[in-house]
Amino acid sequence: MKSLPLMALTASSGFVLAASSGSFEAGLQAYREGRFQAALDAWTRAESEAGEAASSELCFDRALAALQVGALAEARAAAERAAEHGGAPFA
């Protein structure tokens, strides 16, 4: 399956989660390597660690990984959280 583009391709994009940056980076690396389930697992951990402070980019990237593994309900829920946190650019 073709990889979908990520919203937050690098940590230099301005996305920083101090507590969960390790999980985010692990997910980013896994996604780039086509290991979408590993990316989803890492970003799920990152979102859990961040709680309400989870960025819209993290939620959006998690939605993309969920789509890649066929977890449609999870993808939709993550996309909705991205829209709630990020507003119009994610709607």
Q: In this predicted structure, what is the pLDDT of residue 11?
A: 36
**Chain segment 10-62, per-residue pLDDT in tens:** 333 344 344 457 999 999 999 999 999 999 999 999 999 998 889 999 999 99
Terminal CA-CA length for the chain: 25
Q: In this predicted structure, what is the pLDDT of residue 18?
A: 42
Identify the band that residue 3 occupies on the pLDDT scale cut at 50, 70 and 90: low
**Token pair of 20 as six digits:** 């969960």
3-state secondary structure the chain: CCCCCCCCCCHHHCCCCCCCHHHHHHHHHHHHCCCHHHHHHHHHHHHHHHHHHCCHHHHHHHHHHHHHCCCHHHHHHHHHHHHHHHCHHHC
Q: In this predicted structure, what is the pLDDT of residue 4?
A: 58
Q: Is the pLDDT of residue 65 over 70?
A: yes
Q: In this predicted structure, what is the pLDDT of residue 88?
A: 73
Identify the band that residue 2 occupies on the pLDDT scale cut at 50, 70 and 90: low
